[in-house]
């Protein structure tokens, strides 16, 4: 039996911590809750969110990043693909996973150089430069050394490839340094090797390995500066594509057009129509929702012999396909993401969920029977992830929704508490067994925030299959939304479908989603005060369209994204 | 004595480690007229142990004890071991995080975690640990001249985790700077031994080229550090320092010869494959031991799984309480909470897994002992520390930690004993181990939780 033992004082919503998801709670005016009282959450938490100030009332521009950030492994791999045609994804294979604190891999403060990374960068540079010279020489050298002469051709490599590798024109010092490397290596090792070493040097340079955001004096406004056009090109490309800028973006940087917000918007819209944008949004959803965990779901083999072959890959692919189809092929609205009754199934998952399987090896969209599915939260893979090996987990499902969609972190049990699901009992439903949490006054403080949401998902078993009975007993999927910051959604509901429709209309959920997207975009947690205007404007734009694609555009043109703290 | 330079090596036959032509082993330490260097190795497995099957049965004196079931594979190595009981990770009483987070952070640093936003298994949040891990402190003293300052290896250490976070990192190069293990034997081979199979003229050219490339990078890093915002400068300066260190280490003269040789190039294995786990374990041990034997490094670690520990052992069969032999299919973390196997005996499965770890630990000792060094072996010149982030999984306890020490430490460690304590802070053990490497440090980790040098461990 789950137990919450001695000395635990129930707490409500935890003290505000600098989680990205907490930003929206702050934004919505959620005060620090009281703890230790009978009421789990300060009544003030039910106060309606403050109304965003009208445009023009923001007197100071919220500054964006002024930082240097190491490329993530996936950014690195896509960058060398676009720079040198290297499609081997070498960094994902050989570099260690990123250290992350903010929930997203492009964490400027925590993804830092280590001995293993620095060695790895050198090794990758040797491999990539070697492959490029051997296999795609024309991408390295836009010149023929036999025609223009080797030294002149090397000059061109330094200037032309260097500009693309550093994502801006080289300074004189940088140019001279690389030219000097070529000159020193040419005689002992020959022209080809010397050029290859120049490529290596570019790939281990910080101007390649880091996204450098230091701004452009003198375009200052108060204490902030606009990102330089070159920096803006990279900000856009790494946010919307997860890779380096293309020629059109470079041209817009070269001309200075990217200093103009209208050009930024035009570029953002162009970029969102490019397949590379799908990679970047997939990356956002993967990191925000923790979708990589789907690959490692474990289920009890004795309880679920039908899973003998494993379904992890199909679950993961199904969730990915659902998200991508909503964002890119359907309306792209948060509402559709949270309420669509479409599932993507393959030959493994279709029979599990009572759907007709495709006659090929891949995935196909299927409409679930009316009233059984609603969007992301009822995707089979996600429901299977948010469950235990042998049984469903109202706890995991409730916590996931609170934290990922409502941006309300939950106070943890204290150290020393035995945290175990209740044991199987064929005479009870899961809900009845878990009810001890909410009935035990020691546990109720937090579980009152978790379980009434999680119980709404009891119509789905540990594999995410729809069910109306458990152990021969009728399923009770009634639930309640309480202790939110959105009075519109408070109150009882029945089942995950109704819950999902409520959440899709919730200002709290919309604020939460935009906070996550902004964190992903700027590589830091938005500051509730400094970024308040940005958050307000984003909220208005997102509310107007409900479109995730429009949200990405709105972020791209936002002040937080386009500016930098003045030096 | 003539200093040996890097030698030319021939890649070994598949599956075989190639012992190089016998040469008198000449370490830099010997050049300086001293003995073989003492090495430090950390071995980790997660989620606590079943105490009743782990701790030895004490005898009349510390040297008279009987190994328990989990340590059956270690019976031949009993005289090379120090078993302990009654050591607590007291420092986990302060700082942030849930018990897995606190334990992972503190086990080698003796320090608490900072506040932060990494979400633990029960929703608790934590930042990184505020200490430097013992192995890295030792490496900063004895690893300055070798090709690699230290070598961190993992056996499925990042499984079920897409990021480096507090629960899958135990090595800290500096406060809040966690170092990642390498989980892929092929990548480890490439890193440690590819130079060993390059012929001498080629290697000289390669070194010159690398130094030239790195020189350019250092120049660029210095440029950027000058113009970067002050808050970001430290990141770039640290990066530049690491590149400088790498450049300098490129020319370090590792000593191949004797039993030092380049191991066989490992096959491509599924780094995240549960079926490949035993093979990965053996390859990583082989390469770590060879890196130590070749003096490529003097400090290393082996991290099995991580504190999330969603690792199954389908390659393992065990005997359940009913006497039937069954395949181990339980999820590690679930088993540690006495759940996850509906048809099997969870306790027996957990004990079988701990026994498997002991067999890998025994293999490590065997490999170390197979390297002759002077009158003894590499094992005699090593200190091996086996740690865990918890003492007991179901209760998430840090009381009575299952710490095991092995190896003679060049005569510094009094092996063949079972040392029993009562509520002894584990910082005391870390301090004692640090002192096995010389120096007269008065404290280690958080000083409030370091009360003395662990008695009885050192000679």
pLDDT tens per residue, range A463-491? 999 999 998 999 999 999 999 999 999 99
Q: Can you tell me the ipTM of this complex? A: 0.85
pLDDT at B397: 94
pLDDT of A12 over the 70 cut? no
Q: Do B239 and A113 touch (CB under 8 A)?
A: yes
Q: Do B239 and A118 touch (CB under 8 A)?
A: yes
Residue B50 CA, chain-centre distance (Å), reads: 22
Q: Identify the weakest region by mean pLDDT among A105-109, B52-56, B94-98.
A: A105-109
Contact A302, B342 (CB under 8 A): yes
pLDDT at A30: 20
Neighbours of A439 (CB within 10 A): 11
Across the range A219-241, mean pLDDT stands at 83
- Please, which residues have CB within 8 angstroms of residue B222's CB and are 6 or more apart in sequence? B240
Q: Identify the weakest region by mean pLDDT among A107-111, A200-204, A475-479.
A: A107-111
Tokens of B135: 């192995």
Contact B406, B80 (CB under 8 A): yes
Angle in degrees, CA B109, A409, A493, rounded to 5? 150
Q: Give the CA count within 13 Å in the CB-facing half-sphere of A516.
A: 24
Beta A67-70 vs A473-474: how paired, if at all?
A: unpaired
pLDDT of A340 over the 80 cut? yes
The three-state secondary structure class of A46 is helix
Q: Which residues of A127-160 are buried (b: 16+ CB within 10 A; e: fewer)?
A: bbbebbbeeeeeebbebebeeeebeebbbbbbee
Q: Identify the weakest region by mean pLDDT among A59-63, A549-553, B249-253.
A: A59-63
Q: What is the pLDDT of residues B216-267, one digit of tens each?
A: 999 999 999 988 877 788 899 999 999 999 999 988 766 655 678 888 889 9
In this complex, is the C-beta atom of B51 within 8 Å of any C-beta atom belonging to chain A? no
Neighbours of B97 (CB within 10 A): 30
| Site from B100, B220, B303, B346 to mutate, A interface, most A CB atoms within 10 angstroms | B220
As a whole-number percent, the residues of chain A with pLDDT over 90 amount to 60
pLDDT of A31 over the 50 cut? no
Query: Binning pLDDT at 50, 70 and 90, where does residue A413 land?
Result: low
Measured between CA atoms, how close is B212 to chain A, in angstroms? 7
Across the range A324-339, mean pLDDT stands at 96
pLDDT of B205 over the 90 cut? yes
Residue B385 CA, chain-centre distance (Å), reads: 8
In this complex, is the C-beta atom of B26 within 8 Å of any C-beta atom belonging to chain A? no
Residue A214: which of B98, B191, B228 has the nearest Cβ?
A: B228
With CA atoms as reference, the chain A residue closest to B246 would be A119
Residue A399: which of B123, B190, B224 has the nearest Cβ?
A: B123
Write down the residue that tokens 């260190």 correspond to.
B245
Measured between CA atoms, how close is B405 to chain A, in angstroms? 27
Tokens of B408: 């003679």
**Peptide bond before residue A141 is cis, with ω within 30 degrees of 0:** no
Contact B214, A204 (CB under 8 A): yes
Measured between alpha carbons, how far is A72 from A97 in angstroms, rounded to an integer?
A: 9
In this complex, is the C-beta atom of B162 within 8 Å of any C-beta atom belonging to chain A? yes
Query: Binning pLDDT at 50, 70 and 90, where does residue A498 land?
Result: very high
Q: CA separation (Å) from A335 to A322, A330, A495, A501, B156? A: 14, 11, 17, 8, 39
Task: Cite the DSSP H helix spans in A221-329.
Answer: 229-240, 247-254, 261-272, 275-289, 312-324
Q: What is the pLDDT of residues A360-370, one digit of tens each?
A: 889 999 999 98
Query: Binning pLDDT at 50, 70 and 90, where does residue A41 land?
Result: very low
pLDDT at B200: 84
More confident of the two residues A251 and B31: A251
Neighbours of B400 (CB within 10 A): 23
Tokens of B291: 């890196």
With CA atoms as reference, the chain B residue closest to A565 would be B229
Angle in degrees, CA A267, A272, A278, rounded to 5? 145
pLDDT at B410: 95
Q: What is the pLDDT of residues B310-365, one digit of tens each?
A: 888 999 999 888 888 888 888 788 788 776 544 568 889 999 999 999 999 999 99
Tokens of B221: 């890093």
Q: What is the pLDDT of residues A293-316, one digit of tens each?
A: 888 788 888 889 998 888 999 999
More confident of the two residues B283 and B164: B283
Q: Highest mean pLDDT: which of A24-33, A48-57, A65-74?
A: A65-74
pLDDT at B206: 94
pLDDT at A412: 58
Measured between CA atoms, how close is B77 to chain A, in angstroms? 33
More confident of the two residues A46 and B153: B153
Rg (CA), chain B: 22
Query: Binning pLDDT at 50, 70 and 90, where does residue A411 land?
Result: low
More confident of the two residues B161 and A454: A454
Residue B318 CA, chain-centre distance (Å), reads: 27
- The torsion of the CA quartet B268, B270, B271, B273, rounded to 10 degrees, works out to -160
Beta B171-174 vs B151-155: how paired, if at all?
A: unpaired
pLDDT at A241: 96
pLDDT at A432: 87
Q: CA separation (Å) from B405 to B76, B78, B413, B419, B432? A: 15, 11, 9, 11, 11
pLDDT at A3: 31
Query: Binning pLDDT at 50, 70 and 90, where does residue A509 land?
Result: very high
Contact A402, A446 (CB under 8 A): no
Contact list in A for residue B169 (CB cut-off 8 A) is 99
Contact B389, B107 (CB under 8 A): yes
Contact list in A for residue B341 (CB cut-off 8 A) is 300, 302
Measured between alpha carbons, how far is B49 from B71 in angstroms, rounded to an integer?
A: 12
Q: Do B213 and A105 touch (CB under 8 A)?
A: no
Residue A201: which of B217, B238, B397 has the nearest Cβ?
A: B217
In this complex, is the C-beta atom of B205 within 8 Å of any C-beta atom belonging to chain A? yes
Measured between alpha carbons, how far is A181 from A200 in angstroms, rounded to an integer?
A: 11
Q: Give the CA count within 13 Å in the CB-facing half-sphere of B105.
A: 34
| Structure letter (DSSP) for residue A71 | P
Contact B187, A95 (CB under 8 A): no
Q: Do B236 and A413 touch (CB under 8 A)?
A: no
A275-289 and A312-324 helices cross at what angle (nearest 10)? 120
**Peptide bond before residue A413 is cis, with ω within 30 degrees of 0:** no
In this complex, is the C-beta atom of B278 within 8 Å of any C-beta atom belonging to chain A? no
Contact list in B for residue A185 (CB cut-off 8 A) is 209, 212
């Amino acid at each position: 039996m789950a137990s919450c033992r001695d000395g635990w004082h129930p707490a409500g919503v935890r003290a505000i911590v600098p989680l990205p998801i907490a930003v929206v709670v702050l934004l919505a005016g959620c005060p620090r809750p009281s703890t230790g009282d009978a009421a789990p959450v300060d009544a003030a938490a039910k106060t309606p969110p403050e109304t965003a100030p009208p445009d023009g009332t923001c007197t100071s521009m919220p500054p964006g990043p002024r930082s240097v950030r190491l490329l993530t492994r996936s950014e690195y791999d896509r960058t060398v693909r676009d720079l040198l045609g290297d499609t081997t994804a070498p960094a994902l294979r050989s570099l260690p996973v990123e250290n992350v604190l903010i929930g997203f891999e492009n964490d400027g403060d925590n993804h830092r150089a280590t001995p293993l990374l620095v060695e790895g960068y050198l090794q990758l540079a040797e491999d990539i430069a070697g492959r490029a010279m051997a296999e795609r020489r024309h991408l390295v050298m836009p010149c023929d050394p036999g025609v223009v002469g080797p030294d002149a051709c090397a000059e061109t490599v330094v200037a032309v490839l260097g500009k693309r590798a550093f994502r801006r024109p080289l300074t004189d010092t940088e140019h001279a340094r690389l030219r000097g490397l070529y000159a020193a290596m040419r005689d002992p090792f020959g022209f080809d090797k010397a050029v290859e070493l120049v490529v290596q040097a570019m790939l281990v340079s910080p101007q390649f390995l880091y996204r450098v955001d230091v701004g452009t004096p003198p375009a200052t406004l108060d204490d902030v500066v606009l990102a330089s056009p070159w920096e803006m090109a990279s900000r856009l490309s790494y946010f919307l594509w997860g890779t380096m800028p293309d020629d059109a973006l470079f041209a817009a940087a070269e001309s200075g057009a990217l200093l103009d917000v209208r050009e930024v918007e035009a570029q953002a819209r162009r970029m969102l129509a490019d397949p590379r944008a799908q990679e970047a949004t997939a990356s956002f959803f993967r990191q925000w929702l923790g979708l990589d965990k789907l690959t490692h779901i474990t289920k009890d083999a004795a309880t679920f012999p039908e899973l003998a072959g494993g379904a992890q890959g199909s679950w993961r692919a199904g969730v990915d396909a659902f998200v991508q189809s909503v964002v890119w092929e359907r309306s792209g609205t948060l509402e559709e993401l949270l309420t669509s009754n479409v599932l993507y199934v393959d030959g493994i998952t279709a029979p599990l969920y009572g759907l007709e399987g495709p006659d090929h090896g891949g995935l196909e969209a299927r409409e679930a029977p009316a009233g059984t599915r609603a969007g992301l939260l009822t995707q089979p893979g996600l429901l299977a992830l948010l469950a235990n090996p042998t049984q469903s987990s109202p706890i995991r499902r409730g916590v996931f929704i609170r934290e990922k969609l409502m941006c309300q972190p939950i106070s943890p049990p204290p150290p020393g508490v035995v945290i175990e699901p209740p044991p199987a009992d064929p005479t009870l439903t899961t809900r009845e067994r878990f009810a001890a949490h909410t009935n035990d006054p020691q546990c109720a403080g937090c579980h009152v925030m978790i379980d009434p949401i999680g119980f709404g998902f009891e119509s789905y078993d540990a594999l995410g299959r729809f069910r109306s009975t458990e152990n021969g007993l009728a399923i009770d999927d009634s639930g309640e939304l309480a202790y939110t910051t959105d009075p519109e959604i408070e109150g009882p509901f029945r089942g995950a479908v109704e819950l999902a429709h409520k959440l899709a209309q919730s200002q709290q959920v919309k604020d939460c989603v935009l906070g996550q997207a902004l964190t992903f975009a700027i590589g830091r947690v938005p500051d509730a005060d400094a970024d308040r205007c940005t958050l307000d404007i984003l909220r208005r734009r997102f509310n107007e369209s409900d479109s995730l694609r429009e949200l990405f555009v709105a972020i791209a043109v936002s002040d937080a994204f386009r500016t930098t703290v003045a030096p | 004595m003539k200093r040996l330079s890097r030698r030319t090596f021939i890649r070994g036959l598949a599956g075989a480690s190639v012992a190089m032509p016998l040469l008198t082993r000449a370490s830099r330490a010997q050049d300086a007229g001293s003995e073989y260097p003492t090495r430090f190795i950390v071995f980790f497995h997660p989620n606590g142990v079943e105490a009743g099957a782990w701790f030895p049965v004490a005898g009349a004196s510390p040297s008279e004890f009987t190994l328990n079931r989990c340590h059956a594979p270690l019976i031949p190595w009993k005289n090379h071991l120090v078993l302990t009981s009654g050591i607590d990770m007291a420092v986990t009483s302060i700082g942030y995080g849930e018990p897995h987070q606190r334990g992972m952070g503190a086990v080698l640093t003796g320090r608490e975690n900072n506040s932060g936003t990494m979400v633990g298994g029960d929703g608790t949040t934590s930042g990184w640990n505020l200490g430097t891990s013992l192995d890295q402190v030792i490496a900063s003293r004895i690893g300055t001249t070798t090709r690699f300052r230290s070598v961190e290896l993992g056996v499925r250490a990042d499984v079920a985790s897409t990021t480096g976070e507090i629960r899958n990192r135990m090595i800290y190069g500096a406060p809040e700077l966690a170092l990642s293990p390498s989980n892929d034997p092929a990548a480890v081979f490439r890193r440690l031994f590819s130079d060993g199979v390059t012929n001498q003229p080629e290697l000289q050219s390669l070194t010159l080229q690398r130094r030239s490339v790195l020189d350019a990078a250092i120049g660029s890093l210095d440029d950027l550090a000058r113009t970067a915002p002050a808050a970001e400068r430290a990141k770039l300066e640290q990066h530049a320092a690491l590149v400088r260190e790498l450049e300098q280490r490129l020319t370090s003269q590792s000593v191949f010869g004797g039993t030092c040789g380049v191991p066989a190039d490992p096959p491509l294995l599924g780094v995240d494959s549960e079926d490949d786990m035993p093979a990965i374990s053996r390859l990583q041990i082989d390469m770590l031991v060879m890196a130590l034997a070749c003096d490529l490094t003097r400090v290393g670690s082996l991290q099995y799984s991580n504190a999330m520990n969603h690792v199954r052992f389908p390659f393992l069969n065990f005997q359940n309480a009913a006497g039937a032999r069954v395949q181990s299919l339980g999820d590690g973390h679930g088993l540690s909470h006495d759940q996850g196997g509906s048809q099997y005996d969870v306790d027996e499965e957990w004990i079988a897994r701990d026994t498997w770890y002991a067999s890998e630990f025994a293999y490590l000792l065997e490999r170390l002992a197979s390297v002759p060094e002077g009158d003894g072996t590499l094992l005699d010149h090593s200190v091996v520390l086996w740690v865990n982030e918890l003492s007991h999984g179901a209760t998430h306890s840090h009381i009575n930690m299952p710490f095991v020490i092995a190896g003679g430490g060049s005569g510094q460690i009094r092996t063949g004993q079972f040392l029993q304590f009562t509520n002894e802070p584990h910082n005391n053990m870390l301090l004692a181990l640090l002192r096995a490497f010389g120096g007269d440090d008065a404290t280690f980790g958080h000083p409030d939780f370091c009360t003395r040098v662990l008695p009885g461990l050192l000679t």
